[in-house]
A and B are shown apart, each in its own frame.
Chain A
Amino acid sequence: MKDRLEALRREALDRLQTVDDAAALNDLRVHYLGKKGQLTEILRGMGGLTAEERPIIGQVANEVRAAIEEVIAQKQELFDRAETTRRLQAETIDVTLPGKVPAVGAVHPLNKVAQEIEDIFIGMGYSIAEGPEVETDYFNFEALNLPKNHPARDMQDSFYITDEILLRTHTSPVQIRTMKEMNGRTPVKVICPGKVYRRDDDDATHSFMFHQIEGLVIGPNIRMSDLKGTLLQFVREMYGPQMQIRLRPSFFPFTEPSAEVDVTCVRCGGQGCRMCKQTGWIEILGCGMVHPKVLEHGGYDPAEVTGFAFGMGVERIALLKYEIDDIRHFYANDVRFLKQFARM
């Protein structure tokens, strides 16, 4: 019986050697080790053995089983691995084909720039104030030290609706509204973004509707040096720490002293280029110390408080920032234009 077992082992191992697929391997496993397999068949003859022989034969039988199982397992693993390889190969895809990109829209570049500016000033402790686009002559002009027939009104030809109501020509009326709302309290620290309108013929650099952001600070001891400090901080956060500013005396009816502000040319870094007309400087905003008459209209005593104000055109900032050639692109809403501003 022992010989039969040994013979079975040899035969099984021989046949297993040549097996080359999983199905045949399974057939062999059933053939040798299955319930009705060869091994079982031989062991059925155990009944005829003596009590001494039985454990010995039993051990041999177990060894034979173990040997066959081990080879089967090895073979099985080999076949599994080959099968996996085959499957992975079959599943291979072309990873260079485009992915499924979710559609992404862009915030309009003007709003994108405005939000950026707003965020900088929010970080500096400013609130955002808004006001109506249709304004009274009083808020738009008179309260800002621009009485009727003032020559400075020529600087901004306006869209009137009636003699007393017009489309605001700047966001400055929001300054007056804010002051009145504050009712004499200090400090006032706001920026006022919004649409404004002027009777300009549209061309590459002019649009009859455009956007402004103005700032207003009022307190008991606000100085022009604070204005310079504020603008420098803003410009550096907006364009980078290397930026410089330069103030030039100018005129606005609502500020005195008044200044126009140049910044280091964002394109050439001050070296001089076509954009800055070789000066190294780009004008980006106007500013000044709030005129006493404006403070009075806002309900403040110019002997008690001082303030500064500044204003900039969002279009101009965006044109410079993105080097856009024509202001009219902002209002044509061509999606090929708009989509370019989706980046963070």
Chain B
Amino acid sequence: MNVSYRWLSEYIDLSGISPQELAEKLTRGGIEIDNVPSRNLGVSKVVVGYVKSREKHPDADKLSVCTVDAGQETDLQIVCGAPNVAAGQKVPVALVGAKLPGGLEIKRAKLRGVESQGMICSARELGINDKLLPKELQEGIWPLPEESRIGDDILELLALDDAVLELDLTPNRSDCLSMLGVAYEVSALTGRPVRLPNPERELFSTTDKASDHVKVAVEAAELCSQYSARYIKGVKIGPAPLWMQNRLIAAGIRPISNIVDITNYVMLEYGQPMHAFDAGKVAGGRIEVRLAREGETLVSLDGVERKLDPHMLVIADAEKAIGLAGVMGGLNSEVTTETTDIILESAKFDGGSVRRTSRQLGLRSEASSRFEKEVDPGRVTAALDRAAALMARYCGGTVAEGVAEVVVSTPAPVVIDLALSRINGMLGTELSTLEVSTLLSRLGFEMESQEEGKWRVTVPSRRGDITRDVDLVEEVARLYGYDEIPTTPIEGPTTTGALTQAQAIRRELRRVMTHAGVQEAICYSVTSRESAKMFPELSETARPIELAMPMSEERSVLRTVMLPSLLEAASYNLSRKNNDLALFEIGSVYHSDEPVLTRLPREKPRLALLLTGHVRSAGWNRKAEPADFYDAKGLLEAAFDRLGLSPAITFEAARPQGFHPGRTAAVKLQGARGPETIGYVGQLHPDLQRAFDLPDTFVAEIELTPVYEQANRRIEYRTLPRFPSVERDLAVVVDHAVAGGALTEAIRGAAGELLEDVSVFDVYTGERLGAGKKSVALALVYRHPERTLTDEEVTESYAKVLTELEQSFGAELRK
């Protein structure tokens, strides 16, 4: 809603309050004002001139030479390029020395050898938004009404000496979609009274009766609580008075004709949308408010044919639909220059119904935006009378006596019990009875005192948003001033705040990863259908959940797997020459097996990891270290170790889709029911590497719920060993396929309790070993907690280990 400051001052005294101050006051009171642009964008010394004559320019086809009386000592000779300039017109004339928006200064000049003593202006040159003017006036100069006085300042004539308050209204304050509503608000903030417009009922006829010309029937009574119509005879269609057009333009509404402009003007004034039908086109003089018929269509005023649904409310005559109730009129009953008689509508339509219709048709109008927030039932008749009177005054019409109407119901005023203790209790204030009743009375709320500190408050019908006592508490608070509310600490029992286990682990994972040089990424949870198919084992059996109305194909389903988004992030980085990447993300995937969701999906928290390029870049004293499988695995091992999960974690060779079949491990966590796969770590399959234009890339994706559940944060301290350990190295030759992990596990099983640790320290393949063979070197550490080991004990265990390796793996001791 754009509010002209000058127009507003007609309803409330604004003296001593500048537009900026008013904007600040309203904003602090809850009606946010973004901007207060001046309507004058830098115009000075532009006056009304009369074009006495127009001659063709001797040397230029497109120019003409005008003699203009601009109220100066002598007539001015002005060269003009506009095709529509003509003798006999009143036009805006920028005198020599005038300034125009954009810093243009008018000087005496010669145009193709002819002197020009000023400039005849278009609307745009005056800084007026010419989109609000008819097409023909956008092209050339702006002819002014004949009655304009020569020499008058254009700023005054076009009311440019004004500022516009651009209201950014919250949905509850639709009462401020009208000048009167804003005036009431200003009144409450300033204590000054509101001056209501006078709907000059004395202008109405006393003989001719509206009911003789128009009958109203409301069929869909639940969607229309009141429909009122007046009949105006013998109007002459023409432009509305300039002052009214100025105000419409200030409000951002295009002037069209006197009748239409008046309906818009009164809508802006009262917040009540109105519609004028050409009575001559309303069959049978009958207005019906009914639901659309099956298959019915209507061409709306914008010329578009609309297919109507049976839930849509229409206005119809005896034969056909002539308007979409509360949204837009029909072309078939439009007011045109031939129109002489008018049926003027003012009604209250159900907000939800208007909203639904306008959304479904994609047709929003000034009217629908007001109806859908519920108009003030108390103003339907007042606005109707006001508009009818304006038509009598400015369109030469005669308003028939009486109103043709159906009033289905008049809502009872809202009455609310309010207690002072409630206000102070909610706000933390110490307001007195007098302060509260003063504040609420300023808003026009009727305060009926009950016992001390209690009221029955009657809410005026314009404030449909006020329905319960907390709404009144807010009114008190905002008028009293939010700044005046004290600042206090919460009273009551103290509470301790802490992270949950999952939250704490999530942060720990972030620490482990970032301390190891991995950057945290956040990717969109909405992705393409294709990406769901890349890693079926990680997507499990889930069907991608589709958005009903996605914004694009790339973001049409919820992700069932995390890695594709990290791959995209990697591609993005590589195309920017960020070649060494270590990225992780902690996020969710969304799994459901239902084709159409009836329950919420499972949101599974996961960790995803990606390495490509080098894990350590080259320096002056070291070589770059390319990322490999063991970097990715090592990061996971570090994380599991920090969470106390190492003993329960195993890595087993696996071949899930999307991964390199020879370089991938399933990550298994020992659960109550044995080891369970909680994710995979491996090299990306070469096909995917190619698809994403990536070099060798190592990735992992791990389910976090079991990690959260089983993480063991307890630190179990063990005293330091008091006896020395004995170390034995062992190198065995085995088949290439024998897993190192299997060897160490077998050794742990065979060596007995004295074995403290076993680790692989070298793996070697070479011709001397024979094809398909490798040598694995292992370091065994023995220790007894209570005494020094004897050589015999170690040798005995070592022999058992060797036997086990020979029997289970065909291992040979390497000499």
Is B600 part of the binding interface, using a Cβ–Cβ cutoff of 8 Å? yes
Most buried by B among A107, A230, A291: A107
Q: Is B485's CB under 8 angstroms from A219's CB? A: no
8 A Cβ contacts from A308-344 to B: 330-336, 338-339, 342
Is B297 part of the binding interface, using a Cβ–Cβ cutoff of 8 Å? no
**Contact for A165 among B474, B600, B619, CB less than 8 A:** B600
Indicate with 1 or 0, residue by residue over A167-192, a CB within 8 angstroms of chain B CB atoms.
Answer: 10000000000000000001101000
- Find the B residue at minimum CB distance from A163: B548
Most buried by A among B425, B474, B486, B551: B474
Q: Is A331's CB under 8 angstroms from B489's CB? A: no
Q: Is A249's CB under 8 angstroms from B482's CB? A: yes
**Contact for A334 among B495, B518, B576, B588, CB less than 8 A:** B576
**Contact for B522 among A108, A128, A135, A162, CB less than 8 A:** A108
Secondary structure call for the A interface: mixed
Is A60 part of the binding interface, using a Cβ–Cβ cutoff of 8 Å? no
Interface pick from A5-13, A32-40, A74-82, A152-160: A152-160
Residues of B near A125 (CB, < 8 A) are: 494-497
Interface pick from B23-31, B54-62, B248-256: B23-31
Is A240 part of the binding interface, using a Cβ–Cβ cutoff of 8 Å? no
**Contact for A247 among B483, B584, B619, B620, CB less than 8 A:** B483
Q: Is A134's CB under 8 angstroms from B590's CB? A: yes
Residues of A near B517 (CB, < 8 A) are: 102-105
- Find the A residue at minimum CB distance from B496: A125
Q: Is A333's CB under 8 angstroms from B514's CB? A: no
Q: Known contacts being A250-B170, A257-B477, A333-B573, is A223 close to B588, with CB within 8 Å? A: no
Q: Is A230's CB under 8 angstroms from B490's CB? A: yes
Q: Is B497's CB under 8 angstroms from A98's CB? A: no
Residues of A near B373 (CB, < 8 A) are: 151
Is A201 part of the binding interface, using a Cβ–Cβ cutoff of 8 Å? yes
Indicate with 1 or 0, residue by residue over B463-499, a CB within 8 angstroms of chain A CB atoms.
Answer: 0000010110110011000110111111111111111
Q: Is B525's CB under 8 angstroms from A223's CB? A: no
Give the shortest distance, in Å, between A303 (CB) and chain B (any CB): 9
Is B132 part of the binding interface, using a Cβ–Cβ cutoff of 8 Å? no
Indicate with 1 or 0, residue by residue over B410-449, a CB within 8 angstroms of chain A CB atoms.
Answer: 0000000000000001111100000000000000000000
Residues of A near B513 (CB, < 8 A) are: 105
Q: Is A159's CB under 8 angstroms from B549's CB? A: yes
Q: Is A208's CB under 8 angstroms from B551's CB? A: yes
- Find the B residue at minimum CB distance from A123: B497
8 A Cβ contacts from A186-215 to B: 186-187, 189, 195, 197, 199, 201, 208-209
Q: Known contacts being A136-B600, A151-B355, A199-B551, is A225 close to B427, with CB within 8 Å? A: yes
Q: Is A160's CB under 8 angstroms from B549's CB? A: yes
Q: Is B600's CB under 8 angstroms from A135's CB? A: yes
Indicate with 1 or 0, residue by residue over B586-613, a CB within 8 angstroms of chain A CB atoms.
Answer: 0010100000111011010000000000
Q: Known contacts being A127-B497, A151-B373, A209-B525, is A107 close to B520, with CB within 8 Å? A: yes
Q: Is B581's CB under 8 angstroms from A104's CB? A: no
Residues of A near B489 (CB, < 8 A) are: 226, 229
- Find the A residue at minimum CB distance from B603: A132
Is A216 part of the binding interface, using a Cβ–Cβ cutoff of 8 Å? no
Q: Is A104's CB under 8 angstroms from B488's CB? A: no
Q: Is A106's CB under 8 angstroms from B519's CB? A: yes
Give the shortest distance, in Å, between A175 (CB) and chain B (any CB): 17
Q: Known contacts being A125-B494, A151-B373, is A162 close to B597, with CB within 8 Å? A: yes
Residues of B near A258 (CB, < 8 A) are: 474
Q: Is A103's CB under 8 angstroms from B582's CB? A: yes
Q: Is A103's CB under 8 angstroms from B615's CB? A: yes
Q: Is A249's CB under 8 angstroms from B29's CB? A: yes
A165 to B588, CA, bound (A): 18
Q: Is A122's CB under 8 angstroms from B499's CB? A: yes
Is B135 part of the binding interface, using a Cβ–Cβ cutoff of 8 Å? no
Residues of A near B616 (CB, < 8 A) are: 103
Q: Is B172's CB under 8 angstroms from A209's CB? A: no
Interface residues on A, range: 35 or more
Q: Is B356's CB under 8 angstroms from A149's CB? A: yes
Q: Is B487's CB under 8 angstroms from A232's CB? A: yes
A55 to B426, CA, bound (A): 113
Is B167 part of the binding interface, using a Cβ–Cβ cutoff of 8 Å? no
Give the B interface residue count (CB, 8 A). Answer: 95
**Contact for B497 among A103, A122, A219, A342, CB less than 8 A:** A122
Is B150 part of the binding interface, using a Cβ–Cβ cutoff of 8 Å? no
Residues of B near A186 (CB, < 8 A) are: 492
A125 to B474, CA, bound (A): 28
A232 to B490, CA, bound (A): 12
A28 to B733, CA, bound (A): 59
Most buried by A among B519, B584, B588: B519
Q: Known contacts being A187-B492, A223-B428, A229-B488, is A155 close to B171, with CB within 8 Å? A: yes
Residues of B near A154 (CB, < 8 A) are: 171
Is A217 part of the binding interface, using a Cβ–Cβ cutoff of 8 Å? yes
Give the shortest distance, in Å, between B528 (CB) and chain A (any CB): 15
Is A66 part of the binding interface, using a Cβ–Cβ cutoff of 8 Å? no
Indicate with 1 or 0, residue by residue over B555-597, a CB within 8 angstroms of chain A CB atoms.
Answer: 1001000000000010011001010011110001010000011
8 A Cβ contacts from B19-45 to A: 27-30, 32
Q: Is B426's CB under 8 angstroms from A339's CB? A: no
A335 to B612, CA, bound (A): 13
Is B712 part of the binding interface, using a Cβ–Cβ cutoff of 8 Å? no
**Contact for B477 among A189, A224, A336, CB less than 8 A:** A224
Q: Is A251's CB under 8 angstroms from B171's CB? A: yes
- Find the A residue at minimum CB distance from B35: A277
Indicate with 1 or 0, residue by residue over A137-159, a CB within 8 angstroms of chain B CB atoms.
Answer: 00000000000010110110001
Is A15 part of the binding interface, using a Cβ–Cβ cutoff of 8 Å? no
A226 to B171, CA, bound (A): 27
Give the shortest distance, in Å, between B476 (CB) and chain A (any CB): 9
Q: Is A338's CB under 8 angstroms from B519's CB? A: yes
Q: Is B519's CB under 8 angstroms from A335's CB? A: yes
8 A Cβ contacts from B488-545 to A: 488-500, 503, 507, 510, 513-526, 545
A221 to B616, CA, bound (A): 58
Residues of A near B498 (CB, < 8 A) are: 122, 127
Give the shortest distance, in Å, between A326 (CB) and chain B (any CB): 15
Give the shortest distance, in Å, between B550 (CB) and chain A (any CB): 8
Q: Is B588's CB under 8 angstroms from A133's CB? A: yes
Is A282 part of the binding interface, using a Cβ–Cβ cutoff of 8 Å? no
Give the shortest distance, in Å, between B339 (CB) and chain A (any CB): 34
Q: Is A151's CB under 8 angstroms from B491's CB? A: no
A217 to B496, CA, bound (A): 14
Is B372 part of the binding interface, using a Cβ–Cβ cutoff of 8 Å? yes
**Contact for A342 among B487, B490, B514, CB less than 8 A:** B514
A151 to B550, CA, bound (A): 22
Give the shortest distance, in Å, between B515 (CB) and chain A (any CB): 7
Which 5 pairs from chain A and chain B are nearest by CB? A103-B517, A225-B428, A249-B30, A251-B170, A257-B474
Please list 26 pairs of residues, one from A and one from B, whose beta carbons are closer than 8 Å in the complex, sorted by A's number. A103-B582, A104-B517, A106-B520, A108-B520, A122-B499, A127-B498, A127-B500, A128-B500, A151-B174, A159-B548, A161-B547, A162-B596, A162-B598, A187-B492, A197-B526, A208-B555, A222-B490, A224-B428, A225-B488, A229-B489, A246-B482, A249-B29, A291-B470, A334-B578, A335-B581, A336-B576
